[in-house]
Amino acid sequence: MRYHALIPAGGRGSRFHSDSPKQYWMLAGKPVLAHSLDRLAAAFALDQIHVAVAPGDRWYDEAIGRRAG
């Protein structure tokens, strides 16, 4: 059996009053979303993790980039 995870990360952070969505804010040296990806990958034997971002998201590639899995 194969296992996949889906992380919804399409928020704009409009209530956060920032230039970028809060999932890309730095926490302990890396973006909040990167912490989520790392913890999820460490906790479960997943074949893939899918991240759903907002249309026109311009931060993901720079903040997270391509990762194995």
pLDDT for residue 24: 94
17-48: pLDDT as tens digits: 777 899 999 999 999 999 999 999 999 999 99
- The predicted structure's pLDDT at residue 30: 95
* pTM for the model: 0.84
CA distances from 5 to 26, 37, 69 (A): 23, 10, 11
Q: How many CB atoms lie within 10 A of CB 25?
A: 14
pLDDT at 69 over 70: no
